[in-house]
Every structure is written in structure tokens, then in C-alpha cells.
Chains A and B, each alone.
Chain A
């Protein structure tokens, strides 16, 4: 197992380097004038020249790249023209919000997707199965930003059941930060009203964001479950008179979960992409909204910071899934890095 972990770590390092190459290419090679881009749309010619000299953008690309990597390793992601803060501190402020949104959405997706996938496999070709398939097909096809707007229209504006957007109502002040995660902090400080308010604000964005993941988790779990239920050991267990619930819940689910786990890791990354749109709809103060607001105002450095952070997160998620995979299914360890 140790060798497997070391191999995976080396691969992670290689991937991170590759990610830096991509972001470097986008920020230094793609644009016509990187200095102009970094200086922003309102910069004067002399400001552009200052930036060019300051970042060494007139030097050879090789030198620029070395400088770029050194800066990022030191935690310097540039400065946002819009917020007048360093991108690093902005990301630290906004990322916990995104993390809570994505985690909550993933919990909903797994919590609903796995049982629904099992139900639809066990009751294959009945109305339960058909209904779940409609949900799973729609989940991938529906534009998240539109679904969010329609939910706002119906539930927040028409029925007035839940708030329209943001993280907290005007009457609530955020609790003293401990972990910087609003839900956790509210709980730790015993602020139940704040917690309830935060939950009410989070419900619609989380539901909107979870749909594509819910759909694929359901789909993979259903397919795996159908395959697993055909296996000899399941037939044998049934023949021995073990109850259906035990056969499905204990014997089959364990094996069917392995591919589902991969899907969860993969979807976590895609969800981080989805937050860009969902946060825009719900005014959720996370890195997605930060990236979009920056992009719209021609503020370039924050976008690159968000891209790096999301890539890093996705890679870490997949790394953890790989580890879990190696632990659940020893065969993958022996096969080495596939």
C-alpha cells in the first residue's frame, strides 16, 4: 500500500506541474499582450509598462515561467484590480463558502443517488425505475443556471418559502470565525437561529448544484447494482435464505460502491465547475461568483487564481479517491498506476 501511495503522490506532483503549465500558457502566451491584460481595461500606457517591467513580461518565456512558478509556490497569485486585495487573501475568504456549497450538494447527491440507484436496480423496469431514469436523464440535460432561476421564481418569489440568495439574511450576523465555515462556526458557537437561516439560504443552491451529480451517481449505482445482483455469490446468498434487504444492503452494495466512488470523485470536480454558474444565480459569495465578477470586469488575475484552486481541488479529490480505491479493491494496488 505504501508503494501505491508514493506512486500516486508522484503522479499528483506531475499533474500539478502540468496544471501550472496550462495556466501559464493561458495567462502569458494566449493573450496578445499579457501586461495589458494584467493591468486591466482602465490602465494607462505607463501603467501597462510598469506592470510589464514588474512581472518581467518582456523577458524570454523560459525566464517568465520560472518566475511564475516561483511566485505561485510562494503563494503570490497577483492582485485583484476590483477588490484591491491580493488574490490569495480573496480566495481564502471566498473558498470556505464554495467548499460548504459543494460539500452540501455532494451529500444530497450521494444521500439520494445511492438509495435511488439501488431502488431502481432492485425494482428494474417498474415505475420506480422509469421515474428515476427521467430524473437522471433530465439532471444532466437541464441548464443549472436556468433550473436555479426557475426554483427562485417558484419557491423564493412566488411561494416565499425560502430566501432568494446570499448566505445569511440581513437580520443575522455571521458568528465569530473559528473554522471560517459558516455552518460549523454557527454550530460551535451554539447560534441555532443563524444555523437555521444559513440552511434556508443554502437549500436552493445546493439542490440546484447537486442535480448533475445526483443523475450520474444514480446511473452508475443502478448499472453496478444490476451487474452485482447477477453474480454467483448473490444467487448463493439468496439460495441460503438470507433476506433481500441483507443481500442487497450488505453483500451487493459494498461491491457496487467501488465505481460509484470514482464517480463521486469525478463529480466533485465537475461540481466545482458548476458552482461558477450556480453561485452567480444565487449570489453565493464563493470563488465561482468571484471568478465571474472578475471576468465580467476584465480583472484577469483572480480568474487564474480560481482556475488553479479548482484544478488543485479536483486533483486532490481524485488522489483521495485513488487511495480509497486501493484500500477497497486490493487488485488496483497490484496493477500499479494504470
Chain B
């Protein structure tokens, strides 16, 4: 029976990757052991799903593009308008759901740009070291010494308000965390025997970086990226709340809360629902990041 099975391509493939499969099963078991990680995964999946199919499931898609129905303004939550309506009669449920897509885009861009700037700098600082490394780390420290939101506020102040400028500003201040992370990791990897051995047999610097250093940095980077998705969404919502991020009619959660603020306490639903969605999204990414850390990088748990 064994020989017959081994001849099918699928079984052969499974046979070859048995150790990987076993590892993945172990990961899944560790991950599933924590209900917090599962909750995080569920929240993130729900968020991604909502962002993906948003335009097709919302009842009033035109409400995110600046439609006005003054006859429907500031209605409480009802069967027609699950989260109520805002001051121009737009359906808040529609706007919150469509806001997920915008938030996802904002989070992805900021995290990606942050990583693309930060990871190479971190590797360079850690692997090349010397004067260059010191210089990179000192500049990073300076950037880390001003809260990201304040620095982003200054940059948006210079560029002018708007969603694009908010994304640019946050991307420009997001990379130092990655430099710190990758720098530390690279330093510890550099001292390991396998990297020393690679150097001893004359492997080139770039090759060592790409074959030995970067793949081993992937786990902590993944964990940080997951956390950062949440934090970046939170920061962008903060800029939106101040009035420097997305401008109407963009369905951005922070800006919605800020507009709804003028209608408290009577029309509480205006601010309440967008905030709840920010909270659930950020919570999801944080819990997922925690769960990923448990399986990918158990030593660095704090």
C-alpha cells in the first residue's frame, strides 16, 4: 500500500514536506491554544473580508461619495439604518463599512513603506557596523525621541491637510522602529556560528545578508508588522480626528468621530460606531501579533 501511495504526486509531495507540515501543525496547535490569538485572527479576517466585499454589501454605497439626503438627517439606529444617519442623512453603517477599505489601505502603505525604509537601514547598521552603523542608529534614536504622531503633525502642517499627505507623513516617521528591531537581530545573528562559518568559507557579504540574515529576521518583522497595522490605523485615525487627515466625503473613521463630536450627546451613534470599529480592528491586529509572536518568536515575549 505504501508503495502505491508514494507514487501519486500528492503523496510524494506530502512525503517530501512532511517536516514542514509537522511544524505548521505544531504552530497551529500553539496558536489555537490561546483564545486571545484566535479572537485576534477572527477580528482581522472579519476586517479583511469587510474591506474586500464592502462596496457590495452596503445598503447605500452612494453615501460614501458625498450624497445628501437632508430629510434623513441624524436618525437613530433602525432597521433601515443600523448605525443611524449623520448630519447630511448619510447611512453611518455604510460609511463605517466602506471606511474599512480606506483604513486597510492606509495601514498597509504606512507599514510597508516603514518596513522598506527601516529593514535595509537596520541590516546595514547591524552588519556593516562601524561609523555608518553608528550614524544610522543615532539618526534613528533622534526620530524615536519625538512621538510619531507629533512628528507627523508637523509634516502634515508643512504639506497641508489631506489623506495623502497624512499617509506620506506617517510613512516618513514609521521606519525607526524597524531599524531598531532589525539592527538588534542582525547583531545577534552576526555572532552566530553559522554566519561565521559562511564568512569563513568566503561567502560574499550580500549573499550572507540575503541567505542567512534576512530570512532569520522575518519572524520578528512579521510580528511587528502585524502590530503596526493596528498602530498605523490608529495614528491615521488620530490625524483624521484632528482634521488634518482624510477630508469629507471620505469615509474615514477618525474624521467621522470628529464630526460626530459636535452632535454629542443626543446623536451619540455618530461618534460611537466608527470608534468601536477602530477599536476592534486595532485590537485584532494586536492580538494576532501577540499570537504570531508566541509561535514565531517565543523568546522575545514580554
Q: Which residue of A lies closest to B274 (CB)?
A: A146
Complex Cα distance A146/B278, Å?
A: 9
B292 to chain A, nearest CB (A): 15
Binary per-residue interface labels of chain A (251-268) against chain B in the complex, 1 for a CB within 8 Å, 0 otherwise? 000000000000000000
Partner of B154, one of A23, A141, A150, A219: A23
Partner of A26, one of B148, B155, B278, B290: B155
Asked if A149 contacts B261 (CB within 8 A), the reply is yes
Residue B97 CB within 8 A of the other chain = no
Contact A143-B237, Cβ < 8 Å, known A150-B272, A152-B264, A272-B147: yes
Contact A22-B142, Cβ < 8 Å, known A140-B286, A146-B271, A223-B302: yes
Asked if B145 contacts A291 (CB within 8 A), the reply is no
Residue A30 CB within 8 A of the other chain = yes
Partner of B238, one of A150, A277, A307, A315: A277
List chain A residues, Cβ under 8 A from B36.
133, 137
Binary per-residue interface labels of chain B (218-243) against chain A in the complex, 1 for a CB within 8 Å, 0 otherwise? 00000000000010001001100111
B172 to chain A, nearest CB (A): 9
List chain A residues, Cβ under 8 A from B254.
143, 145
Asked if A143 contacts B278 (CB within 8 A), the reply is yes
Asked if B153 contacts A27 (CB within 8 A), the reply is no
Complex Cα distance A137/B275, Å?
A: 16
Asked if A273 contacts B286 (CB within 8 A), the reply is no
Give the number of residues in B that approach A within 8 Å (Cβ atoms): 49
Asked if B242 contacts A276 (CB within 8 A), the reply is yes
Give the number of residues in A that approach B within 8 Å (Cβ atoms): 56
Asked if B257 contacts A315 (CB within 8 A), the reply is no
From DSSP, what is the main secondary structure of chain B's interface residues? helix
Asked if A276 contacts B286 (CB within 8 A), the reply is no
Asked if A270 contacts B154 (CB within 8 A), the reply is no
Interface of chain A residues 16 through 64 with chain B (CB within 8 A): 18-19, 21-23, 26-27, 30-31, 37
Contact A158-B265, Cβ < 8 Å, known A19-B146, A307-B151: yes
List chain A residues, Cβ under 8 A from B243.
292, 296
Q: Which segment of A89-97, A194-202, A298-306 sits at the interface?
A: A298-306
Asked if A307 contacts B146 (CB within 8 A), the reply is yes
List chain B residues, Cβ under 8 A from A311.
145-146, 150
Interface of chain A residues 294 through 320 with chain B (CB within 8 A): 294-296, 300, 303-304, 306-307, 310-311, 314-315, 318
Asked if B275 contacts A30 (CB within 8 A), the reply is no
Chain B interface (Cβ < 8 Å from any Cβ of A)? 36, 138-139, 141-143, 145-151, 153-159, 161, 230, 234, 237-238, 241-244, 254, 257-258, 261, 264-265, 268, 271-272, 274-275, 278-279, 282-283, 286-287, 290, 301-302
Extra pairs beyond A26-B155, A138-B279, A274-B149 (10, CB < 8 Å)? A15-B141, A31-B159, A141-B286, A145-B241, A223-B302, A276-B242, A292-B242, A292-B243, A295-B156, A304-B154
